[in-house]
Structure 1
Amino acid sequence: MAGPVIKEKLLFVSSWFCPFAQRTWLALNEKRVDYEYYEMSLKDPTTNQWYQLGEKPKWFLDLNPLGKVPVLAYKEGDETHCVYESLICNEFLEEYSPKEQPLLPDHPVAKAKSRIIIDSFSSKFVPLFYRILLRQDKESQKEAAEGMLAELRQLEQKIDPEGPFFQGKQMTLVDCALLPWFLRMSILQHYRNFAIPEDCPHLVRWTQDMEQLPAVKETQKAPEGGSSYDEQLLFHYQRYADASAKSTSARDFK
């Protein structure tokens, strides 16, 4: 199957329900970068079966040998440039389009603090999210949920209480990196009866405020038609809840 044509205009290869890809989608929208969206289906069009690890189309593996979204690609003369891994993509966008709505503070210490929050979230919170879903025995689910509660309460202490963004008046890469999983807390509520606790009101307020932003709403569109975005998200994450998912995340975080 032929893939998209790489041009001078930035190409964003994504999968609509992937939170990692949504990180970069948010940054692209907030920075108002001119880009072309390409939906990477996770199903083989010839069989309508989910791709297994390592079975992605050759054109996609040529762009990213890891076989994961997001991918940013563009032509510069005769050379094709490809960037992947969500947090690296977002840092790249800061350099690629530095004048358009900066998403990192100017001060080096403030930048470092932003990156510390992102790194901690990615290494602790994200794995716990998937473990709550993927693990089938109640004791393991409970252990992961307790870890998640501890992480949520730490984030509640770090968030700017006045907002509207995580670090105050301006959207940053912290919002882009964290928000996709907070937008999916309804999945944990549905499948595992887990919700943000009442003693984290600022996280709840932040999530609700962020959902109203055009840059966020633009990323909440399911391409398949029929049922709503939220309903389709629940459908796709059922594979995680019953441990049948074969994605990289399912493999890495189980």
Structure 2
Amino acid sequence: MQRKWMFTFILLVVGFMVAVQYNTVQQPSERDTRDIWAIRNELAKERKLHSELLTEVRALDETLDKYNASEEGNKGQALLETVEDLRQQAGITEQSGPGIVIDVVPSQESVAMGTPLHEISPELLTRFVNEVNRFKGLDMDIDGKRVTALSAIRDINGQTTVNGLPVTIPPFQIKILSPDIEKSEKLYNFLQSSSILDDFYLDDFILEINEPENNVKINGRSDQSENRYLKELPKGG
């Protein structure tokens, strides 16, 4: 008899757990209210990120294959080439290629009304950089200051700076390099219809976007990058 009651009690516990689990599945605590297009956009972002990661992994695999295929005497050359690629990615070296030049100038209305010239705010410059970074593989400098993923655009003592260097009051130029002329044309068309033009106009500035060119030159970073983790091994070590 005692065993029968024990068996009945176990069945009740199991039945209760199954009922709770079923109720949780049927009535989730937080319902996903996104429509199909929001889900598709989210999926597209994840696919884009996945593609970028695969590209980076492929590039690293190619570098490793280059080292493995090199003879002992050529490994030093392969290492130098890798270092040069990293210097370019870090924005240390001067570069040239297809791109566009943008003249940042005061608006005609502000000049006609005698509005005092003023500098561009860090927030506006940051919005511009974020807008351009919708396109991948670009290199940029703002007023001769190289902009990379590690660059800081901020206010220092009331002055807008890029990499700690002050940005002059307009007019000045923004230069953007693309991998090829076709991507420069896409960027040109994108910026022509971008709302960032209105953002600059509201701050009394005009972006004069020149047509793509085959040979645009941008500066390398003039500031020194800080090395926090790499340590030089002792000679012979």
TM-score, normalised relative to structure 2: 0.25
In terms of fraction of residues, the more strand-rich structure is 2
Structure ranking higher on relative contact order (CA contacts 8 Å, 6+ apart)? 2
TM-score, normalised relative to structure 1: 0.24
